[in-house]
Structure 1
Amino acid sequence: MNRHILTTALFALTLTAPPVVADIGLSPFAGFRMSSSVNIQTAGASTEDQIDFRDSVSQGLALNFDLAEPGKQGELYFSRQSTSARLDNGLFASGVASIDLTIYQLQFGGLYFPAGKSHGGFVSGVLGVTRLEPEDSGYETHHRAALSLGGGYQFFLTEQLRLRLDLRGIYTALNSGGSAFCSGGCELRFDSSGYLQVEAGAGLVIRF
């Protein structure tokens, strides 16, 4: 009899106990990224042109962890975009009109939910580095500082699952006068302080 009462009591406690709150979220996502042009010039000459990055699909992974203050999370953001760069009016040093490349971003920052929860509307800000990596190893790879600001909404599905929608602007800083996708002797130089990309993405947040 006592054993039956104890079993019943334990079962009742498991039903009334609050769910365990997750403090880490892993979010694979896919999106679409649009880019502005980059002004360039030929070294030692007055010739000016623009590099255009093709709008294309992006993929990535975001890792979030809850901070002590409700509604705040740290975030580690990684993304990649397969695209191409082409000159509006000229050719690159090797005589080609466009270069296939992959753009990587690795950034760290945080999310803020004004409602003080781990779901609902949020704003985001992360800072890190952009890697511009041409597929042809004959061209130089560039690393530049980058900043991302944005916002979105996380729909509550279960305690361990959210649907996350994002809209972010990614600004990559360029040192004016720096080389631009050189192969051998380089004549192209960045003539811009940076370029902006806008990314719309969606993914599932798995919390544990």
Structure 2
Amino acid sequence: MFIYKGVRAIYTKIALVFHHLVTWLLLYSNNIQFKQFSTSGIPYLSVSRDGWFSIDQNFRMHNGNMGNPIGRPQRCVFTVGKGASLSIGKNVGLSSTALVAHQSITIGDNVKIGAGVCIYDTDFHALDAKFRMASVTDFKNKKCKEVIIEDNVFIGAHATILKGVRIGENSIVGACAVVTKEIPPNEIWGGNPAIFIKKLINDEESIC
């Protein structure tokens, strides 16, 4: 057991160095503006040539189950479409998260995003069935609207944030919630669709 743990610790250290190097090269080659970051695993990146993706300092992410093994492991997905923007603030942490920007996603400072969270600023497809019959008209007629996550927000595991949503500072989104409308600051929301649960109070006790 002691030998196994020792070998595993050495493997983990080597793997993390490799993951950081490959991720650095991916960020640089995709013309992403980034500062200090740490990563376990390697994310999936798809950034349009005229898309904008910026990451501020002290960014932390887990891809797969090496760094945060709490179920449904996958790589983080960052997709920035033509003319779209994705901005991540200071001291943001996320695990196995999908961020898909076809217009604009802005994430503030000190935001914590749980494992398996999906944030989309697009419907991906047209709502009118006749437009969905051809890929060109389907894409042209999809609806997009910016998503804004303000400072100090905590989004629980496997939640989904849909287009046009703004989450106010300090608010909490419960695990597996589906957020379809604006959440004011300092509130807890949960459910599908997400609804108001209660106001946050200073030194609020854990709701786990």
Taking structure 2 as the reference length, the TM-score comes to 0.25
Taking structure 1 as the reference length, the TM-score comes to 0.25
Say which structure is richer in helix: 2
Higher relative contact order (CA 8 A, sep 6+): 1
Say which structure is richer in strand: 1
